[in-house]
Amino acid sequence: MAEMFKNFINGEWVTSKTGATFNDINPADKSEIVGVFPKSGAEDINMAVEAAASAFDKWRKTPAPARAEIIYKAEKLLRKKKDDIAKIATAEMGKILDETKGDVQEGIDTAFYMAGEGRRLFGDTTPSELKNKFCMSIRMPVGVVGLICPWNFPVAIPSWKIFPALICGNSVVLKPASDAPASSMELVQILQEAGMPKGVVNLVHGSGEEAGMALLNHPKVNLISFTGSAEVGKRIGEICGKNLKRCSLELGGKNAQIVMDDANIDLAVDGALWGAFGTTGQRCTATSRLIVHKGVLKEFTEKFVERAKKIRIGNGLSPDTDMGPVINESQLKKIHSYVEIGKKEGAKLLMGGYFYEEGECKKGFFYMPTIFADGHPSMRIAQEEIFGPVVLIMPVNSFEEAIEVINSTNYGLSSSVYTKDINRTFKAISDIQAGITYINSPTIGAETHLPFGGMKNSGNGHREAGKEVLNIFSEWKAVYIDYSKRLQKAQIDTAKEH
């Protein structure tokens, strides 16, 4: 019998009011149930939001350095449990153990960095235009925040949201993806163990349509932070907009790596393999286009395909696996349908393009690393996010054309350029429309103390991670203290003087 899990509301582990459940399945072996989770509804969300609303005032008044102490404890516990949580994450969402350990490490790094903010959370002081008047800006928490997370970074992404939310003094309702609920459960359990007061952090499992929608529509939720597809992001933004709920959206990408004719080709091949097939291509930062100068197209393509053929596909728990499964059946089908589209559009299939069902892999959702050549910006596979191990090689004649092609999608999350030319490097930094640009390194692998997010349809203008994330989870208050003992009028008094 698979273990039954619960929601965490007001400091207690509780079953859902709906009584319904869903199975958390191992995508490497669909007969394996990692756990059974509550399929929560509006009533459960309401209880969680009410608990968060009641806990908010006391938490916001707890000094930030004291809030930080709890986060430091959680960071230590995460570090201690890193290997165990990584195994759970691999079992429920498939990526290889080295990657899930990295995922937990990203959570640890974020906890450590954000706990440090407990003694910063800087505002500004600035001179007044009037005499005997003092001006400053300070951060205020937003209130109850609803966090809706994806499955592909089941520890890192909830951590990116939960630690900054807490250090800023907000209370939280977390709705993890139903494809990876166990990792979030571990994270919340750690926060409980670290001494988080009851009601400050609440966890509600369930589907996006039911639990997610209830969270989104709840009048006492002041902010929604969502990571997922642009399609869902637009719907969320619309609902939040109607109620003037604060809303931060971190959405998809159609990320590309440019390979110039002066690049170190072996290094560019290493980067492309990791960018396109790491995490089975299931990252919002994954490389799905390779924009290659014609001068090195043949050499790059041959080396890339040769190396991609050596990728060992299998269960992420096995040390011999390089690439794990795709998350679920509908995603597997979606990837394959894009491969069919690519073929019809005239892209040349160099390898892959089919379900991988060798040996044990027939038990799960596996897809071959797939490489298309002869890509053109007019193709759908050059424009739409596939979220799987599929990459399109797009030949170009010049650096200028490469920049045009890289900017030819509606997305603008991550980008990469392989070149040794300093002038091209700086031109790329200035002209690529993306929130992240890597030089001589692949499109994936952001560090937690730099801002993360994208331009165009990759988001709605916010940045997670770095110190910039604090602007999502706090609002600014401008403070003016007049010690002149008389009425002073900004602008009106100064207008007379100038």
**Number of chain residues interacting with ligand UN1 (CB under 6 A):** 10
Based on the shown chain and the rule CB under 6 A, indicate whether residue 100 belongs to the binding site for ligand UN1: no
Based on the shown chain and the rule CB under 6 A, indicate whether residue 153 belongs to the binding site for ligand UN1: yes
Query: Which of 39, 101, 175, 283 is the binder for ligand UN1 (CB under 6 A)?
Result: 283
Query: Which of 68, 165, 213, 446 is the binder for ligand UN1 (CB under 6 A)?
Result: 446
Task: Considering only residues 324 through 353, tell me which ones interact with ligand UN1, judged by CB under 6 A.
Answer: none
- Please give the Cα distance from 41 to 217 (Å, whole number): 12
Q: Residue with the closest Cβ to ligand UN1?
A: 446
Q: Give me the least distance between CB of 218 and ligand UN1, in Å please.
A: 25
Residue 214 CA neighbour count, 13 Å, CB half: 21
Query: Which of 445, 455, 475, 488 is the binder for ligand UN1 (CB under 6 A)?
Result: 445
**CA-angle at 9, arms to 6 and 11, nearest 5°:** 105
Task: Considering only residues 218 through 237, tell me which ones interact with ligand UN1, judged by CB under 6 A.
Answer: 227
Select 16 or 152, whichever has its Cβ closest to ligand UN1: 152
Q: Which stretch binds ligand UN1 (CB under 6 A): 173-181, 328-336, 444-452, 472-480?
A: 444-452
Q: What's the chain's length in residues? A: 498
Q: Give me the least distance between CB of 413 and ligand UN1, in Å please.
A: 9
Select 160 or 356, whichever has its Cβ closest to ligand UN1: 160
Q: Give me the least distance between CB of 334 and ligand UN1, in Å please.
A: 17
- Taking alpha carbons only, the member of 148, 158, 355 closest to residue 232 is 148
Select 97 or 446, whichever has its Cβ closest to ligand UN1: 446
From edge to edge, which strands make up the β-sheet containing 133-141? Answer: 124-127, 133-141, 474-482
Based on the shown chain and the rule CB under 6 A, indicate whether residue 148 belongs to the binding site for ligand UN1: no
- Are 201 and 8 contacting, i.e. CB atoms less than 8 angstroms apart? yes
Based on the shown chain and the rule CB under 6 A, indicate whether residue 284 belongs to the binding site for ligand UN1: yes
- Please give the Cα distance from 338 to 344 (Å, whole number): 10
Based on the shown chain and the rule CB under 6 A, indicate whether residue 152 belongs to the binding site for ligand UN1: yes
Q: Token pair of 138, please? A: 């300070």
DSSP 76-137: HHHHHTHHHHHHHHHHHH---HHHHHHHHHHHHHHHHHHHHHTT----EEEE-SSTTEEEEE
Q: Which stretch binds ligand UN1 (CB under 6 A): 74-82, 193-201, 281-289, 427-435?
A: 281-289
Active site residues: 250, 284
Q: How many CB atoms lie within 10 A of CB 267?
A: 14
